[in-house]
Structure 1
Amino acid sequence: MLKLKNLFNNVDLAEMIVKNWAYDEPSLEMFSFYRISSNAIYPFRSEGKIQLLRFSPKAEKNRENLLAELDFIAYLHDKDYGVLEAVVSKNGEKLVEIQTPWGDYFASVFKRVPGIQIGETDVSDHIVFHHGKTLGKLHQLSSAFEPSTHQRWSYNDVFDWIQSILVKFPNEKAAFHETQKLQAYFNTLPKTSSNYGLIHYDFEYDNVFYDELTDSCYAIDFDDSMYHWYVMDIVQALDSLEDCVPPELVQQKRQCFLEGYQTEFDISNDDMTALWTACNRFANLYSYARLLRASEEEWKNEPRWLVDLRQKLTNAMKSTSMNFGKEL
């Protein structure tokens, strides 16, 4: 999540940035459908087709990570995997670095994928099966992926980043000990091409689209991708089921997902059982650190939406920190 000061809608900034790409002038009225979280996303059209402008302050992102993300997406697209596609700027760049009156920014543009978010479907067994199948295919392709130039960060880099945040908050002793505990645990685990590689990290129901016409899924938002155990993706995806289906159907849907996954990539049930708790704890710790960083600054007379958001973040941090320090 971006720092709270970067969550404000800024149409002038978006217009300044989008001019680095070809666009249909009347379509800028679509900017009213913007959303801002880990990035600012503004939709527009180019030659009548919907595209998405993504940008964030340079201070919020790592250039090497962004370039590595774009390389991985291009690799997946070349392998006919259902994935969003980056659009080159007028200067032929997929990642544009821009100086503006509001600071320096990284920006990219992506074509909109077909279909609708899985969370907006009826989440049938058939669709859940395809969701799992699509993640299995991603991991199968990842297991053969060899980056040529740019290297995406790993779980260990994330732990180091978390510690760099926590050092600014000396009272966050529980989070610091949780970081040490989890890092030590993960560093004891074996890494092979069949259990470890570049994962999506956020393969949940708002980042996967189901297209009824082709009966297939498309993945978006690789902004959190990292080198980790493949189980991490499975845990995140399966946990997201609880937000989409009644409690009594969760186990059935999980089984559908895993059956789909295993048609493309084989993973041991023992691996999932052993890593499930640790992966959940990793996700909670990473989320906690990001929210802590995002909400660090406060201002007098904040707008109501920001006051309400700050309270939601506080509640989320309480929830994600409940198991800090417990035995794995």
Structure 2
Amino acid sequence: MLTIARRPATTRRRPVPPPAAVLTPAQAFTALPVADQLARVEQLARQALPLYGLPPTSAISLLNYSENATWLIRPPGGPARVLRINRPGYHPRANIASELEWVLAIRRDTPLVTAEPVAALDGEYIQHVWHPGVPEPRNCVLFTFVEGTEPDDSNRLASFELLGEVTARLHRHVVAWKPSRPMRRFRWDFDAMLGPDGHWGQWQNGTGVTPPIQRHLNRVLPVLRRRSDAVGFAKNRFGLIHADLRAANLLVKNDTVAAIDFDDCGYSWFIYDLAAALSFIETHPDLPAYIDAWLRGYAKVRTLSKAEIAEIDTFVMMRRLLLLAWIGSHADTAQAQSVAPGFAEGTAALADRYLSRFA
């Protein structure tokens, strides 16, 4: 009899799905809805208040939540204050201390008003605060509350002239100023803005950057590097600047002008402050008039060289690409979402005009 050997039966196993990704505490916090994030950060803010001698039951309301969380504090029976809770991993404590030293020097040495940092009970301006609902400890700074309103947006020419004058006062101050210690702040040069390790991420990851747009914008990079480097790094052209002095960061009350929000201040070309003033409106048809108004205000206080003025378009283009990077790295914020539609296409159009002049 022929017998046929049977193969042993095999047991088929169902494929095991890969384990779900485990989020770090920081990633889990970022994944929360913004309202939930703010509820937790507010608890951290209330925990910080006693360090400055303020009751944790003070009235508190949100002013801004973007890079940092900024809160208006109204303690019972005391003056209003502003508490800034710095985002983690951006500015080390030494960098914040440098920012505050310049802010105090501006307030002391110029007619400009700044929000003055308020020392905590231990005599330090910067407090390192932890709360169990927030994954990382945060650096906090309390400031005086500066009264005033933003310049009238219905008269942009006057606003840009004022911006130019205020910016020139800051530049004149920093050229002559001798800080008490080496200033530790970001450097806003070509690599820091547009390089692979840029402070605000890579512009190639910006919202709406398609492969054709990326290829087109790549053509601008060598021109920007060459022309910005040609402006040079001499002390009268490159130094500590505000780096975000837009109309939103001026407050006017009667004859008093205040400059606020020095969180981005760092080392860059002085003319870059003009490009920062034009943030998000680089393609506006009235841009030449805004630039002329800014230069007119600046000239009341300080002179720019012909070489700097000749490269205004270069620094406007650099700032636009930096903002494209910012939109990509902040895509979950309401501010970035509000400006993202069409921004990449507008940047490509701006590059067209730039290359037609300088390529």
Q: TM-score, normalised on structure 2?
A: 0.71
Q: Which residue of 2 aligns with 1:220?
A: 260
Q: Which residue of 2 aligns with 1:93?
A: 124
Q: Which residue of 2 aligns with 1:285?
A: 321
Q: Which residue of 1 aligns with 2:70?
A: 41
Q: Which residue of 2 aligns with 1:196?
A: 238
**Contact persistence 1:287–1:320 (CA under 8 A):** no
CA distance in 1 between partners of 2:169 and 2:32 (Å):
35
Q: CA 1:182–1:132 in 2, change beyond 3 Å: closer, same or farther?
A: closer
With 53-62 and 253-262 compared, the bigger mean Cα shift is at 253-262
Q: Which residue of 1 aligns with 2:21?
A: none
The Cα shift of 1:209 comes to 0.9
Q: CA 1:224–1:175 in 2, change beyond 3 Å: closer, same or farther?
A: farther
Map residues 43-192 of structure 1 onto 2, 5 A cutoff: 43-46=72-75, 47-80=77-110, 81-101=112-132, 102-104=134-136, 105-119=138-152, 125=158, 129-147=161-179, 148-156=181-189, 159=192, 162-164=195-197, 165-166=201-202, 181-192=223-234
The answer to whether the aligner puts 1:236 opposite 2:272 as a matched pair is: no
Q: CA 1:174–1:159 in 2, change beyond 3 Å: closer, same or farther?
A: farther
Q: CA 1:242–1:280 in 2, change beyond 3 Å: closer, same or farther?
A: closer
The Cα shift of 1:161 comes to 7.5
The Cα shift of 1:25 comes to 5.1
The answer to whether the aligner puts 1:23 opposite 2:59 as a matched pair is: no
Q: CA 1:133–1:168 in 2, change beyond 3 Å: closer, same or farther?
A: closer
The Cα shift of 1:114 comes to 2.6
CA distance in 2 between partners of 1:141 and 1:8 (Å):
39
Amino acid at match of 2:329: R
With 172-181 and 195-204 compared, the bigger mean Cα shift is at 172-181
The partner residue of 2:303 within 238, 246, 266 is: 266
Q: Which residue of 1 aligns with 2:5?
A: none
Aligned-residue identity in percent? 18
Amino acid at match of 1:144: A
**Contact persistence 2:163–2:246 (CA under 8 A):** no
The answer to whether the aligner puts 1:205 opposite 2:242 as a matched pair is: no
**Contact persistence 1:178–1:285 (CA under 8 A):** no
Q: CA 1:123–1:167 in 2, change beyond 3 Å: closer, same or farther?
A: closer
Amino acid at match of 1:139: H
Q: CA 1:234–1:24 in 2, change beyond 3 Å: closer, same or farther?
A: same
The Cα shift of 1:137 comes to 0.9
Greater share of residues in helix: 1
Q: Which has the larger radius of gyration?
A: 2
Root-mean-square deviation (Å): 3.8
The Cα shift of 1:240 comes to 6.2
The answer to whether the aligner puts 1:13 opposite 2:48 as a matched pair is: no
**Number of residues paired by the alignment?**
307
The Cα shift of 1:258 comes to 3.0
The Cα shift of 1:217 comes to 1.1
**Contact persistence 2:194–2:321 (CA under 8 A):** no
Q: CA 1:161–1:111 in 2, change beyond 3 Å: closer, same or farther?
A: farther
Amino acid at match of 2:265: S
Amino acid at match of 1:61: H
5+ long unaligned stretches in structure 1: 298-304
CA distance in 2 between partners of 1:310 and 1:241 (Å):
13
Q: CA 1:250–1:309 in 2, change beyond 3 Å: closer, same or farther?
A: closer
CA distance in 2 between partners of 1:178 and 1:264 (Å):
33
Q: Which residue of 2 aligns with 1:313?
A: 340
Amino acid at match of 2:259: A
The Cα shift of 1:61 comes to 3.4
The Cα shift of 1:219 comes to 0.2
Q: CA 1:108–1:119 in 2, change beyond 3 Å: closer, same or farther?
A: farther
**Contact persistence 2:150–2:252 (CA under 8 A):** yes
SS at match of 2:186: coil
